[in-house]
Amino acid sequence: MDHGITLGPVTGLADIESTIDAVTRGGADAVLTQKGIASRVHDNSNDAGYIVHLNGSTTIGPDQRDKRPTGTVEDAIRAGGDALSVHINVGSEHEPEQLRFLSEVTGRAAEFGLPVLAMTYARGPDVRDRSDPEGYADDLAHAVRLGEELGADLLKTSYSGDPETFERVVLSGPEQQNRTVPGSAVYPGANRSVVRRQPMYRRSSSEGVGVPCSISCIFRTTSSISSARLSSEEKSTSNPSSSCRVSRTAWALFGSTR
């Protein structure tokens, strides 16, 4: 729900308290926002985890791919964050600055024992797209491996478009266990799935959570988040009107530290 910076107070984010309450009651394990609205998160998150996003851009600015720092590790701690998040666009002209920022965040976060989620997207003038699925998968794999190399504990990336090419994306990372999303045969290799922003903008967030087919994939990279810290309870949901299935996992590590 960090898209208040990106898009403004669109439907579902204007009254973000109600949205947070609805999606966490619907089974979301954690909520991700920018630091400035932390106080609006904590009272409505129903003990879900809180991830603080540390960079951003807008759709009305000169370049949406130019994600600039919006906070520090210390800011996230003061905001009551259980984990941190950084977005990087591998292949864009802003890649060098974003790589440096992610590296700095993972290094500083490690000092406090906080996990970092890296949103590693392949976006730029020379990046292939889904019209070239083999090439696009190679670029996504590069982005994923880059996030691991820079110390991220969790990675979020785009789906390549088909199971065969996405498996190659997953093979770019170190962990090969749990290589099928629970409850889904569509996204092999991803340990987790994350619902993207679209359901937040629907009239009924509680109905929308967990059901859209527009999702990204998350998988764990390093041993700093051990399996012992993860809840063994897996929850799956399916949309009766869609064949898309999404897995959600309760992250014990993201439990309240406030």
Other C-beta atoms closer than 10 Å to the C-beta of 11 total 12
Eight-state DSSP code of residue 35: G
Count: domains in the chain: 1
DSSP state string for 183-239: T-SSSBT-SEEEE-SGGGGSS-HHHHTT--S-EEEEEE-STTS-GGGS-S-EEEEE-
- Write the CB contacts of 63 (distance below 8 Å, at least 6 apart in sequence): 57, 94
What is residue 217's predicted lDDT score, i.e. its pLDDT?
53
Per the prediction, the chain carries an average pLDDT of 75
What is residue 3's predicted lDDT score, i.e. its pLDDT?
87
What is residue 119's predicted lDDT score, i.e. its pLDDT?
94
What is residue 36's predicted lDDT score, i.e. its pLDDT?
95
- Each residue of 82-115: pLDDT tens digit? 999 999 999 999 999 999 999 999 999 999 999 9
- The larger pLDDT score, comparing residue 136 to residue 217, is at 136
What is residue 163's predicted lDDT score, i.e. its pLDDT?
87
Instruction: Answer whether residue 237 shows pLDDT above 70.
Output: no
- Each residue of 136-180: pLDDT tens digit? 999 999 999 999 999 999 999 998 888 889 888 888 865 544 443
User: Which has the closest alpha carbon to 32: 102, 118, 90?
Assistant: 118
Q: Of 57-66, 94-103, 245-254, where does mean pLDDT reach its minimum?
A: 245-254
What is residue 12's predicted lDDT score, i.e. its pLDDT?
85
| Residue 202 structure tokens | 């629907």
3-state secondary structure of 25: helix
- Write the CB contacts of 38 (distance below 8 Å, at least 6 apart in sequence): 50, 52, 79, 80, 81
Q: Which of 119-123, 218-222, 226-230, 247-251 has the highest mean pLDDT?
A: 119-123
What is residue 212's predicted lDDT score, i.e. its pLDDT?
30
What is residue 75's predicted lDDT score, i.e. its pLDDT?
97
pTM comes to: 0.74
- The larger pLDDT score, comparing residue 219 to residue 68, is at 68
- Write the CB contacts of 165 (distance below 8 Å, at least 6 apart in sequence): 133, 134, 136, 137
Amino acid letter, residue 21: D
Instruction: Answer whether residue 239 shows pLDDT above 90.
Output: no
List the domain range (segments joined by +) for residue 232: 3-254
What is residue 11's predicted lDDT score, i.e. its pLDDT?
85
Sign of the alpha-carbon dihedral angle for 208, 210, 214, 218:
positive
Q: What is the CATH number of the domain that holds 68?
A: 3.20.20.70
Distance CA 235, CA 248 (A): 5
Q: How far is CA 3 from the centre of its chain?
A: 12
Instruction: Answer whether residue 183 shows pLDDT above 70.
Output: no
Distance CA 243, CA 241 (A): 7
- The larger pLDDT score, comparing residue 27 to residue 248, is at 27
Task: Write out the catalytic residue numbers.
Answer: 2, 121, 156
Eight-state DSSP code of residue 27: T
Please give the average per-residue pLDDT across 61-82, as a whole number: 95
